[in-house]
Chain A
Amino acid sequence: MSIASISAVTDEQVAALRQSHGSVFPGAAGLLRRWWPLLAAVVYLAWSMWYFDFGRLLDSSERVLALLRNFVIWQDMGDWAYRQIYVGIAQTLAMAFLGTLLGTLGSLVLGFLAAKNVMPLAIVRQAVRRVLDILRGIDQLVWGLVFVRAVGLGPLAGVLAIFVSDLGTLSKLYSEAIENIDRKQVEGVRATGAGPLGIIRYGYIPQVLPVFISQSLYFLESNTRSATILGIVGAGGIGMIIIERFRAQLYDQVAFVVLNVLVLIFAIDWLSKRVRLWSIGEKHDA
């Protein structure tokens, strides 16, 4: 009768098993080898909290309270320029729409120029791709700032910023879609004796159009979100109203506008989710 019980394990047995199965008993070195990433993260965080002076978070309580109070207590609501606020929101939507539309049109051209199977000239293809890399490499907000400097404050700069950064990303996605198409259909069109543009119109476009449309719709959604903040650098839309009110210390109005923006963002998320589900459902029905 040998009832296995941990209390029956003698020190001699432990020592003997340590001998025979040494690797199962990790020493300090073994523990360190296992836990060093976590340890490193903790040490780094402790250091960076000192480096970035996280203690300041505790000092600022008075200002925080004042700000939060102003966020919550809304005064003189009758005098708020609601018209301006909602025009700002409409402007944001308009910027996103125009920027995405222009980006899509531009990407239609650049996407084909960057696709290996359409553009045989390596020099052109590579040049286009490098330009796209640069467009992508610079953040939309930086483009916003640059265009504000170039064409002045207002939605025009925002549209251009969305256009340029979309151009970088959409063209790349488009060219990938083009490179992934079925070659046989193109051969079929070529066999009819169509010219290069004819081949693109009848051989490529029918295949890639659904992909293009769904990607552009997705970008419309994400651009609406990013357009709300483009105004922070002066590129028009609701963001500009937020930053104006903020500078004027009208925090209650800031809170109101931000709430509106959040509702807008959630509404767009919901809507685009609906549209996606609906389009998937459509495909299932077909």
Chain B
Amino acid sequence: MTDIPMMGGSAGASGDAPRDAVSTFERHRAELRASKRVWNIVALGAFTICLGLSIWISQFYPDRLANGIPRIFEYFGTILPDLQWDVLFEGRTEEGRAVPGSLTFWYTDFWDYVELLWETILMAITATLIGAAVAFVLSFPAAANLAPNSWLYWLSRRFLEVCRGIPEILLALVFVFMIGIGPLAGIIAIAIHTAGALGKLFAEVNENASSRPVEGITAVGGTWAEKMIFGVVPQVAPNFFSYAMLRFEINVRASSIIGFVGAGGIGQELNRVISFYSDDRVLAVLILVVLMVTIIDLISERIRLGYIGRENF
């Protein structure tokens, strides 16, 4: 490789055509390499500047980090429960007190937590249902191939964009102020976000639906709504269902944290124990939340696969 340019170089202006081709190629190659090198340097420079700026703006300095990291481990130490093997499974004593070091002591408020987890799941179900219903209705005018007219298409598209553009927790913050602390604010916030996110997905599914059944229903004299119900819905229903179930899984997560701003569910308790105590209660609630999310995921996956399997059959 390396001696070819030397040959090309030594050939000079001898006018020999093949050699000229080689030297042209080599020149191109050198130019390409040079420009690639320039790009690499520019990219590296941009990256370094971004990094420097980021470190400066977020004050992510080594000394702060060095101070912070031990505190992180310290903190995780404090939230570990102090379990003792010999009394681990001890119940409550006759006076109704739990023995320190037992699971009962660690999970003193277990049934309160379970109630809140239940509320969290109900919030997710309600929000998913409401959001999916809105998304269902709007997904037809928001599909380019189905919209009855262009302004309805534009309007529903923009509406869905705004719905999914605003983060849930911001919406929840506003709703908590408007209608008070409690799960209702969280449900409304998650439902709005769900409507936007699912509406977009549903509309995309609709756009991929075959136009033949729709044409068939048009030709029998069906109204626009009848075209959608008879011509489109049977085609898209399984996909809608899958997407809604996946969204439900996401919403369970969302409703478990939306309580951070007072919008109900286990998040409210999580926020309380993390912000006001740094003891084993933090871990107790966290474990339950992770468990709940995992179990819901498993169940939902089963339902999804079961439904799709049956559909394919």
Contact = CB atoms under 8 A, between A and B. Distances in A.
A210 B74 CA distance: 38
Interface string A37-63: 000010011001101111011011001
A52 B58 contact: no
Interface in B167-206: 167, 169-170, 173-174, 177-180, 182-184, 187-188
A261 B167 CA distance: 10
Contacts of A137: 290, 293-294
B166 interface: yes
B50 interface: yes
Nearest to A236: B58
Contacts of B130: 45
Contact of A67 (B50, B174, B260): B174
Contacts of A236: 58
A21 B174 CA distance: 58
A159 interface: yes
B60 A156 contact: yes
A266 B289 CA distance: 32
A101 B54 CA distance: 11
A141 B68 contact: no
B58 A160 contact: no
Contacts of B65: 156
Interface hub of B58, B75, B123, B260 (most chain A Cβ within 10 A): B58
Given A45-B130, A258-B166, A265-B165, A57 B183 contact: no
A265 B165 CA distance: 7
A151 B179 CA distance: 34
A48 B289 contact: no
Given A232-B173, A242-B170, A154 B59 contact: yes
A229 interface: yes
A45 B129 contact: yes
B57 A232 contact: no
Contact of A48 (B125, B174, B290): B125
A87 B58 CA distance: 10
A225 to B, nearest CB: 7
Interface string B108-139: 00000000000000110110011000000000
A236 B75 CA distance: 19
Contacts of B126: 44-45, 48-49, 52
Contact of B54 (A41, A63, A98): A98
B53 interface: yes
B178 A63 contact: yes
A246 interface: yes
20 contacts: A56-B184, A59-B179, A64-B178, A91-B58, A94-B54, A94-B55, A95-B54, A134-B290, A138-B286, A138-B289, A138-B290, A142-B257, A142-B286, A145-B260, A149-B275, A150-B72, A150-B75, A160-B72, A232-B260, A262-B165
Interface of B: 50-51, 53-55, 57-60, 64-65, 67-68, 71-72, 74-76, 122-123, 125-126, 129-130, 165-167, 169-170, 173-174, 177-180, 182-184, 187-188, 253, 256-257, 260-261, 270-271, 274-275, 278, 282, 286, 289-290, 293-294
